[in-house]
Amino acid sequence: MKIEDIKVIVCSPGRNFVTVKIVADSGVIGVGDATVNGREMAVVAYLEEHVIPCLVGRDPQDIEDIWQYLYKGAYWRKGPITMAAIAGIDMALWDIKGKLANLPVYQLLGGRSRAGVNLYAHAGGSDIDDTIDKAQTLVDQGFKAVRLQSAVAGLKTTYGVVGDKKDYYELQGNRPLPPEEQWCTQKYFSMIEALFSEARRRLGSGVHLLHDVHSRLTPIESARLGKMLEPYHLLFLEDASIAENQQSYELIRQHTTTPLAIGETYNSIWDCKDLIQSQLVDYIRAAATHAGGITAMRRIADFAGLYNVRTAPHGAPDLSPICFSAHLHLNTWTPNFGIQEFVGLGNEQIRSVFQQDVMIKDGMAVVSEKPGLGVDFNEQAAQQYPYKRSYLPVSRLEDGTVWNW
């Protein structure tokens, strides 16, 4: 069996997605997600110029060999662009393998560990009341876990809060340069405890609450926050501090029992290794698209399982439905799965391009039983939505210093 053709399609049905489509000589088609928000065309060039020529004519069933060839064979290992390119190919090959075997991908991974995949939804509001109102609506819809992000009084913008303004959830139509946002740790600390105490008062203790700091705090500030939020029993506190220096999580850990999560920007098992091995985090949030595909995620999950770390894959709107589907297959299998981030199934345009077979009910997703990943990619529909240059925001402190967004 041979790979006949590989195409990379960039479309923008409301936001940009990079899709890899592999056609095998038997006519079987596999699709994968290779989207890196704000750097989409770098992945396209990497794939078209350096990856695809090495793969046409090879056996699409050799997933492992192809993964190792692209990872070790490049000499220049890791990095978001390389790993997204590998991920797009890898997902498409698993899709093909499933179709050839006439089995959904989770069966190829080892079969079910659970009936369905628990999801956490996003509540982002303009103030504490608005955030909790939105959380209440999600709870009423059946969600058992909700992430709370509230605007911070006195700051022009806050991460995770979608208003009527354009922000990272949307495409920057008329301003194709990175938007700038503002941050002030002191202002954030003056409201964050009230958000969670009020949420517990209004929502009760039955719902799981989560929060994403988006790496805005130093390790000692994260320690303070974790301690401060202990009475409100978060399911996890995400990306409290940046962990380029993985040891810095030791300091946070020494001070707080609030469970910690990290990993959405990680590209390989090596980025998570020390955090997992030293049990410095409770949830690892690597995504199939950014950490090298299903082959790599399977290894991260098994490694994490040795240290009581659970998986909680990234599920933001800038990962395509193909990635979400790959996560559902992984999560259905992963014995040490924790929770899946969920922001909905996308707008009408997205759903016309990526026809995804999934059932969502009462805050839980049930994976597709179709062979492969269970996503039909409509290339003609995709062509109606050409790529539009767009960026994630950049953050600055009030004095102008560039900060972590």
Q: Are 119 and 360 in contact (CB under 8 A)?
A: yes
Both tokens of 306, joined, read 């040795």
Q: Which of 3, 136, 92 is nearest to 325 (CA)?
A: 92
For the segment 203-242, give every residue that binds Mg ion (CB under 5 A).
212
For the segment 65-124, give every residue that binds ligand CS2 (CB under 6 A).
none
In this complex, which beta carbon is closest to ligand CS2, that of residue 160 or of residue 293? Answer: 160
For the segment 297-356, give every residue that binds ligand CS2 (CB under 6 A).
314, 316, 318, 341
Both tokens of 263, joined, read 């990993």
Q: Are 3 and 55 in contact (CB under 8 A)?
A: yes
Q: What's the min distance (Å) between Cβ of 302 and ligand CS2?
A: 23
Q: What's the min distance (Å) between Cβ of 264 and ligand CS2?
A: 5
Residue 167's binding partner out of ligand CS2, Mg ion, none, with CB under 5 to 8 Å set by partner kind: none
Both tokens of 332, joined, read 């259905």
Q: What's the min distance (Å) between Cβ of 229 and ligand CS2?
A: 17
For the segment 143-172, give every residue that binds ligand CS2 (CB under 6 A).
none
Number of residues that bind Mg ion (CB under 5 A): 2
Q: What's the min distance (Å) between Cβ of 210 and ligand CS2?
A: 9
Choice from 19, 35, 37, 390 touching ligand CS2 (CB under 6 A): 37
Catalytic residue, chosen from 122, 214, 314, 329, is 214
In this complex, which beta carbon is closest to Mg ion, that of residue 95 or of residue 264? Answer: 264
Taking residues 214 to 253 in sequence order and writing x for each that binds ligand CS2 by CB under 6 A, - otherwise, the string is x---------------------------------------
Which residue is closest to Mg ion by CB? 212
Which residue is closest to ligand CS2 by CB? 316
In this complex, which beta carbon is closest to ligand CS2, that of residue 73 or of residue 79? Answer: 79
Q: What's the min distance (Å) between Cβ of 341 and ligand CS2?
A: 6
Catalytic residue, chosen from 71, 159, 168, 249, is 159
Q: Are 16 and 88 in contact (CB under 8 A)?
A: no
In this complex, which beta carbon is closest to ligand CS2, that of residue 78 or of residue 211? Answer: 211
- CA 334: distance to chain centroid? 16
Catalytic residue status for 214 = yes
In this complex, which beta carbon is closest to ligand CS2, that of residue 107 or of residue 222? Answer: 222
Number of residues that bind ligand CS2 (CB under 6 A): 9
Taking residues 244 to 283 in sequence order and writing x for each that binds Mg ion by CB under 5 A, - otherwise, the string is --------------------x-------------------
Catalytic residue status for 249 = no
Q: Rounded CA gap, 66 and 20, in Å?
A: 15
Choice from 40, 90, 212, 282 touching ligand CS2 (CB under 6 A): 212
Does 318 contact Mg ion by CB under 5 A?
Answer: no
Does 264 contact ligand CS2 by CB under 6 A?
Answer: yes
* Residues of the shown chain interacting with Mg ion in the complex, contacts defined by CB under 5 A: 212, 264
Show which residues are catalytic: 159, 214
* Residues of the shown chain interacting with ligand CS2 in the complex, contacts defined by CB under 6 A: 37, 212, 214, 264, 314, 316, 318, 341, 392
